[in-house]
Amino acid sequence: MLNAFFTQPVIDVAEDSKVVQTGLLTKVYDYSNSKWRVPKDLKVSMRTQLKVIDSFKNRSKLGRIGLMISLEDFVNERVLEVLKQYLREHQDIDGFTVEIIDFDTLENMEIFKKMTAQYRAVKIKIVVTNI
């Protein structure tokens, strides 16, 4: 199966359709239906997502970038350090928004709260899906 990364603008419909960030999407080509689709269970590591961002020639036009993250990676301090280091080294990016894709698996709210504070301290926004 063929995998590819795409970007898409994320807009705020409350603010005259202003683009608020660029989302990084992973899609797979479905040969049986001859079209691209969102994969059901494809986990893409944070390092891979950051390598894809590195491949863009003009990152400064992306603004804030949305990344997908599993809850397991979100509470992993090493992943946060990778994101912090990337932002320090790439000042042309406005920042990240991490989208937790499996929030429904949360078991420890205290760890989640602690990590949320750490992400916010470095201006990484958090979005939760699949509630």
- Convert the pLDDT of each residue in 89-115 to its tens digit: 998 888 999 988 888 888 999 999 999
Residue 58: per-residue pLDDT:
75
Residue 78: per-residue pLDDT:
96
Residue 123: per-residue pLDDT:
87
For 78, the token pair is: 């090493």
Is-contact 68 44, C-beta < 8 A? yes
Question: CA 46, CA 96: separation in Å to the nearest integer?
Answer: 12
User: What does pTM read for this prediction?
Assistant: 0.75
Q: Report which of 130, 127, 131 is spatially closest to residue 20, judged by C-alpha positions.
A: 127
For 7, the token pair is: 């970007």
Residues in the chain predicted with pLDDT less than 50, given as ranges, are 131
